[in-house]
A and B are shown apart, each in its own frame.
Chain A
C-alpha cells in the first residue's frame, strides 16, 4: 500500500485528474468557464455545485467512520431537515429556518450518538433505525406532498452566488474550513483517531471515548441538515421521498475513496471532500457523454472496486507476488 501511494492523497489527486481528462475527451467544453451577471458558469462549477450535498455529508461521515462507526441515516436526515426548512421558509425569517433545520439535524445526531455511544448498539443497526424512520418523519412533516416555497432568502442559499461562486460551494468550503479548524485545531482529531484505532486502549488512557463518539454523530447530523437545506433551496421545495435518497452511500463512498478505512482510525477531511468531488466529476462526465445514466452506477461500482482493491492488504500481497514472478521470469 505504501509503495503504491508514496504520499497520502496522491492516488486521489491522480484519480481526479484522470477522470477530468476523460471528461474533457467526452465533452470538449468541459473546462470552459464564463462570467455572467457576476457569476461563473461552466461544467467545473457545475461539478462543484452538484457535489456540495455529498461533500457536506462526507465531512460528517468521515468523522463517524474514523471512530469505527457508520451513519446510514444522513439521507433521511437531509429529507427531514429539508422538509422543515421548506415548511417554515415562507412564514419565518432565514435565521429561524436555519436554526430549526440545523437543530433538527443536531437532535437526529444526538439520537444516533445515544444509541451507539451510550447503549452500545452496532452503528450500522443503530443508524438504520433513523434511515428508515426518518423518511417517514419527513413525509409526516410535508404531509406527503412536495412542499414548495418562494422565500428569496432561502432560494438564494441554493441558487445565489458570492464572489462569482455558487453559495452552496461557498458554504461547503466554509464547513470544510470550520470542521478542519475544530478537529485539527483542538485535540479532537487525535482523540477521534485513537478512539477509532483502539477504543479499549483509548478508554484506559483516559480518553472520553463515549463523548468522542457522541460528538461525531452530532456533527454528522448537523452536516446532513445543512445538505438537506441546500438541496431544498436548490429546487425551491422539499420532496420527502427523494431528497437525499441513497446519498448516504455516496457519502460513505466518498470517505472510502478519500482513504479513510471503515475499520476506523486515521482520517482526512480534505481527501473525503476530494472523494465527493471525484464521484461528482464521474456523474457529470457520464451525463455530458450522452450515455444513459444507468452507466453511472456501473462506473461507480468499478471505481469502488478499484479503490477497495488498492486498500486491501491481500490484494497488495498478490500484486507483490505478481511483480516478483515477473521479475524472476525476466
Chain B
C-alpha cells in the first residue's frame, strides 16, 4: 500500500460544502477533515446530512458549493466510480456486490487476470485467497458470495475497495447487521488498515462502538457542522448534546409551566405492550389534550413504538385499551377504526400517494374508514379539501394538483389534513418537522399545540429536543429499544432528556436490527 503522504497534511479535506434539494438545504458550509491513518466517526441523527455528505464527496450528488481535496489536490469526482479511481471507496450497509458470483469474481470484477482473452480462474483464486488471508479470512473463494454471512460480505467489499488502492475508506453503518463477534473482526480489520495509513470514515449510530473504535468524531446536525472533537476527550453526554441539542439553553417546557396538571381522561393506554426483537414491553398512557414526546437516538425504538401504537406492527404481548375498552390492533385498519392516525417519518414512501391530487390524498383515510359503499361525493371531497387547505394554509391552494409536486412542508400538511379529516382521537407523528423549511417548521409546531388544545391526544417523535421540550406535557425517553424514563412537568428539559439518553445502558443492543 503506497503511503507517500506527509502525515501532517490532512488526507481528505472537505471545505464549505453546501447542497440543497429544492427548498431543503441538506448541507450548509460543512467542513470535514480526515487524517491519514485515523478512524473518524461521522455522527448525526437521520437527516443531519451524513449520507448527503458522503454522496457529495464520492460524486454521487453534484455539490452546490465547496471544495474537496484529497492528499492536497482538489478532486471533483462525477460518479462513485470516478471517486473510487481517485482513491475514495465507500462500502454501504447494503453491500453492493453480486451474491450469485464467487468471492474471487467479486474481488476481481472488472479487472480479472486474463491471458489470451480468457480469465485465469486459478490465478484469480490464488490472489483472492492471498488477499483475504491478509484480512484474517480463510474461506473458499470459489463459493458464491451469497453463501457467506453479511460480515464476510462486508470484509470482501472492504478488501476489494482496499485492493483498488483506496486511500480513503468510507464505511456507512457497517455494523448494523453484525453480531458482537463479527463487529470485533471488522474492528480488527479497520485498525489494521488504519495502521497502514488509510483514512477511515466510520458512520454509525452505535455510540459504544464509536467510542471503542474511533480516534476523532465529527458531528452534524440539520445539515450543519456542529464540531470536530477527539473521541478520548469527549464525554458521552457532550456528544449526544452535539447530535441532538443546541447549546444547552435549559429550555423548560413552556406548556408544562402554563398548564395545570389536572387529571385528564385517558384516551388510549398500553400495558406491558411490546414485540419480541422489535421493542421491549412498555406501558404508556395517552390522555386527551396532551402531547407525549418520544425522545431517543436513532434506532432507540421510537418509530417502533409509534408503529405498535398505531397498529402498523402487531404486538405479541400486552394489552391496548381505547377509552378504557380493551382492543386489538392488528393492522393500520384497526388503528384507523379506533380513531388513530399516523404520519410516518418517510413521507414519500409511506405517506403520500404522489400521483394523486391533494384532494384525493386528503380524503383517502376518511374514505378508507367509511368503506367502499359510502363514497364521499365529489362535492363533499371538494369541501373537505378546501377546508383543510385553508385551515393548514397548504400552498399552492390547488386541490387538484398532484401532491408529489408540493414542497415537503406542504406534503406534511396534506398528511396531517388526511388524518384530521377522520376526526381522530389520537395522532401519532413521526418526525413531523424533518426535512421541511423553517417557515413550515414553525407552523407545524403551532398546529401541534392547537390540535392538543382542541382535545386531541398526540404522540410525537422528534430528534429536535428543543422542539420536544416546547410542546410536550410528558416525554418518554428511549434507549436500546426500551422505554427507560418518563419525564413530566418541571422535569422536562433538554438536560434531563440528554442525561436519560446518555445513561450507560450496558450497550447490549448490537445484534439484529438497524
B-binding residues in A (CB < 8 A)? 185-188, 190-191, 193-194, 197-198, 200-208, 265-266
17 CB-based A-B contacts, threshold 8 Å: A186-B373, A187-B371, A187-B375, A190-B375, A194-B353, A194-B356, A197-B354, A197-B355, A198-B352, A198-B353, A201-B351, A203-B332, A204-B342, A205-B365, A205-B418, A206-B336, A265-B353
Q: Is B350 an interface residue (CB 8 A)?
A: yes
Q: How far is the CA of A193 from the CA of B333 in the complex (A)?
A: 18
Q: How far is the CA of A198 from the CA of B370 in the complex (A)?
A: 20
Which of A187, A198, A204 has a CB less than 8 Å from the CB of B372? A187
Q: How far is the CA of A205 from the CA of B356 in the complex (A)?
A: 14
Q: How far is the CA of A79 from the CA of B332 in the complex (A)?
A: 40
Q: How far is the CA of A201 from the CA of B373 in the complex (A)?
A: 22
Known contacts: A198-B349, A201-B352, A202-B353. The answer to whether A186 contacts B365 by CB under 8 A is: no
Which of chain B's residues 327-384 have a Cβ closer than 8 Å to chain A?
332-333, 335-337, 342, 344, 349-356, 360, 363-365, 367-376
Which of B354, B368, B374 has a CB less than 8 Å from the CB of A205? B368
Residues of B within 8 A of A200 (CB): 349-350
Asked whether A204 lies within 8 Å of B360 as measured between CB atoms, the reply is no
Known contacts: A185-B375, A206-B335, A208-B333. The answer to whether A190 contacts B367 by CB under 8 A is: yes
Q: How far is the CA of A208 from the CA of B312 in the complex (A)?
A: 13
Asked whether A205 lies within 8 Å of B372 as measured between CB atoms, the reply is no
Q: Which residue of A lies closest to B335 (CB)?
A: A206
Known contacts: A187-B375, A194-B364, A204-B350. The answer to whether A266 contacts B332 by CB under 8 A is: no
Residues of B within 8 A of A206 (CB): 332-333, 335-337, 365, 368-369
Known contacts: A204-B344, A205-B336. The answer to whether A197 contacts B356 by CB under 8 A is: yes
Residues of A within 8 A of B353 (CB): 193-194, 197-198, 201-202, 265
Asked whether A204 lies within 8 Å of B332 as measured between CB atoms, the reply is yes
Known contacts: A201-B349, A202-B364. The answer to whether A186 contacts B372 by CB under 8 A is: yes
Asked whether A187 lies within 8 Å of B376 as measured between CB atoms, the reply is yes
Chain A interface helix/strand/loop/mixed: helix
Q: How far is the CA of A178 from the CA of B478 in the complex (A)?
A: 54
Asked whether A191 lies within 8 Å of B368 as measured between CB atoms, the reply is yes
Count chain B CB atoms within 10 A of each CB in A193, A198, A204 and give the residue with the most. Answer: A204
Residues of B within 8 A of A204 (CB): 310, 312, 332, 342, 344, 350-351
Chain B: interface size category: 20 to 34
Closest 7 CB pairs of A and B: A206-B336, A197-B353, A206-B368, A187-B375, A205-B365, A198-B353, A207-B368
Residues of A within 8 A of B374 (CB): 187
Asked whether B367 lies within 8 Å of A187 as measured between CB atoms, the reply is yes
Q: How far is the CA of A194 from the CA of B342 in the complex (A)?
A: 17
Residues of B within 8 A of A198 (CB): 349, 352-354
CB distance from A246 to the nearest CB of B (A): 30
A-B contact sample (12 more), CB < 8 A, given A190-B367, A205-B418, A206-B368: A186-B372, A187-B367, A187-B370, A193-B353, A197-B355, A198-B349, A203-B332, A204-B310, A205-B332, A205-B336, A206-B365, A265-B353
CB distance from A112 to the nearest CB of B (A): 21
Asked whether B369 lies within 8 Å of A265 as measured between CB atoms, the reply is no
Known contacts: A207-B364, A265-B355. The answer to whether A201 contacts B350 by CB under 8 A is: yes
Residues of A within 8 A of B337 (CB): 206
Residues of B within 8 A of A203 (CB): 332
Q: How far is the CA of A193 from the CA of B365 in the complex (A)?
A: 14
Residues of A within 8 A of B373 (CB): 186-187
Asked whether B356 lies within 8 Å of A193 as measured between CB atoms, the reply is yes
Residues of A within 8 A of B350 (CB): 200-201, 204
Q: Which residue of A lies closest to B337 (CB)?
A: A206
Residues of B within 8 A of A205 (CB): 332, 336, 364-365, 368, 418
CB distance from A267 to the nearest CB of B (A): 11
Q: Which residue of A lies closest to B371 (CB)?
A: A187
Q: Which residue of A lies closest to B307 (CB)?
A: A204
Q: Which residue of A lies closest to B310 (CB)?
A: A204
Mark contacts of B453-476 with chain A using CB atoms, 8 A cut-off: 1 yes-contact digit, 0 otherwise: 000000000000000000000000
Residues of B within 8 A of A202 (CB): 353, 364, 368
CB distance from A45 to the nearest CB of B (A): 36
Q: Which residue of B lies closest to A189 (CB)?
A: B375
Residues of A within 8 A of B376 (CB): 187
CB distance from B327 to the nearest CB of A (A): 15
Residues of A within 8 A of B336 (CB): 205-206
Count chain B CB atoms within 10 A of each CB in A187, A200, A203, A206 and give the residue with the most. Answer: A206
CB distance from B307 to the nearest CB of A (A): 9
Q: Which residue of A lies closest to B373 (CB)?
A: A186
CB distance from B351 to the nearest CB of A (A): 5
Q: Which residue of B lies closest to A207 (CB)?
A: B368
Q: How far is the CA of A203 from the CA of B350 in the complex (A)?
A: 9
Residues of A within 8 A of B369 (CB): 206
Count chain A CB atoms within 10 A of each CB in B332, B337, B354, B368 and give the residue with the most. Answer: B368
Asked whether A266 lies within 8 Å of B355 as measured between CB atoms, the reply is yes
Which of chain B's residues 274-318 have a Cβ closer than 8 Å to chain A?
310, 312
Q: Which residue of A lies closest to B352 (CB)?
A: A201
Q: How far is the CA of A206 from the CA of B335 in the complex (A)?
A: 8
Q: How far is the CA of A205 from the CA of B312 in the complex (A)?
A: 10
Q: How far is the CA of A203 from the CA of B312 in the complex (A)?
A: 9
CB distance from A34 to the nearest CB of B (A): 43
Q: How far is the CA of A206 from the CA of B336 in the complex (A)?
A: 6
Residues of B within 8 A of A186 (CB): 372-373, 375
Residues of A within 8 A of B351 (CB): 201, 204
Asked whether A190 lies within 8 Å of B349 as measured between CB atoms, the reply is no
Which of A185, A190, A266 has a CB less than 8 Å from the CB of B364? A190
Residues of B within 8 A of A193 (CB): 353, 355-356, 360
CB distance from B411 to the nearest CB of A (A): 11
Q: How far is the CA of A207 from the CA of B370 in the complex (A)?
A: 10
Residues of A within 8 A of B370 (CB): 187
Q: Which residue of B lies closest to A199 (CB)?
A: B353
Residues of B within 8 A of A265 (CB): 353, 355-356
CB distance from B82 to the nearest CB of A (A): 23
CB distance from B340 to the nearest CB of A (A): 9
Q: How far is the CA of A205 from the CA of B370 in the complex (A)?
A: 12
Residues of B within 8 A of A266 (CB): 355-356
Asked whether A194 lies within 8 Å of B360 as measured between CB atoms, the reply is yes
CB distance from B384 to the nearest CB of A (A): 13
CB distance from B313 to the nearest CB of A (A): 11
Q: How far is the CA of A70 from the CA of B350 in the complex (A)?
A: 23
CB distance from B244 to the nearest CB of A (A): 27
Q: How far is the CA of A201 from the CA of B354 in the complex (A)?
A: 10
Q: How far is the CA of A188 from the CA of B373 in the complex (A)?
A: 9
Residues of B within 8 A of A188 (CB): 372
Q: How far is the CA of A2 from the CA of B391 in the complex (A)?
A: 30
Q: How far is the CA of A186 from the CA of B356 in the complex (A)?
A: 17
Residues of A within 8 A of B418 (CB): 205
CB distance from A203 to the nearest CB of B (A): 6
CB distance from B399 to the nearest CB of A (A): 14
Q: How far is the CA of A265 from the CA of B374 in the complex (A)?
A: 22
Q: How far is the CA of A266 from the CA of B367 in the complex (A)?
A: 17
